[in-house]
Amino acid sequence: MNVRDSFDLTDRVCVVTGGAGLYGKPIAWALAEAGASVVIASRNAEHCQAAAAELVAEGYQAVGMRLDLGEETSIVRLVDDVVKRFGQLDVLVNNAVSREGFKTLDQMEKSEWEASQRINSTGLMLMTKYAVQHMVTNGKGVIINIGSIQGVVGPNFPVYGDTGMTSPVNYTYDKSAMVGFTKWLANYYGQYGIRANCISPGGYGPGVEERYGDNEFVSNYKRLTPLGRFADESDIKGPIVFLASEASRYVTGHNLLVDGGWTSW
């Protein structure tokens, strides 16, 4: 296979949870630009449909569908609808995350922790469970989990300075667990021709710099990152296409750090 052809996702159907959000949008665009039919899914169906319409307007294949990761019936319905519409489900990108109740341990209430886990743990598990059932039947498939550097290294609390910003305890918990979950999926489902990998990005500029400007945290983060900047919309696109495509056909159980070198110190 020609190396350029190995990145081609034509005739692949990809589901991106949280695909209308800050990180979900460039992920969806990358897959569509590589030739895939992209299903953008989240609780806000209108946002998903609008994001899909932007892709369609540029000549790409995309649809928006509603998905509530807190409801098992919604997850089952989405997978069934995708398979009925396209006849297949080739790539699942678990990108959605609930940020409700993101607090430090001393601030966290039991109800807030459980509400977060309903989406970030149970929802992740169920979405993967029902998608992978179809992949097993089909004899192939790709799962890509969107983690974080917080799932690899502990939070560097001094980087926040006097801004009042901090790193929530459940985010580190969720993203650390996601790496282990990815490895379990890779090792168990490899026999069925299914690959599972994780991408752990560092700080994302559109979600931080545009909100906080050049405050103490922003300047500290840039100073402590070897490449000297936050990630932008383009930095996730190459890794996503690589892991979704035949270019990474012998890569599974891997956690790809896309962090400008933050974790390499």
Q: Which residues are catalytic?
A: 171
CA dist list (Å): 3 to 8, 34, 175, 247: 9, 14, 32, 7
Q: Judge residue 151's burial from the number of C-beta atoms within 10 Å of its C-beta, 0-12 exposed, 13-18 middle, 19 or more buried.
A: buried
Eight-class DSSP state of 159: G
Q: Do the Cβ atoms of 112 and 103 come closer than 8 Å? A: yes
**Residue count (the chain):** 265
Eight-class DSSP state of 123: I
Residue among 100, 77, 70, 73 nearest 170 (CA)? 100
The residues pairing with 61 across neighbouring beta strands, listed in sequence order, are: 37
Give DSSP secondary structure letters for 191-219: GGTEEEEEEEE--BHHHHHHHH-S-HHHH
CA dist list (Å): 80 to 84, 130, 255: 6, 9, 29
Contacts of 211 (CB under 8 A, 6+ apart): none
Phi, psi of 194 (to 5 degrees): -110, 130
The helix (run of H) or strand (run of E) holding residue 34 is none
* Angle made by CA atoms 67, 27, 122, in degrees to the nearest 5: 40
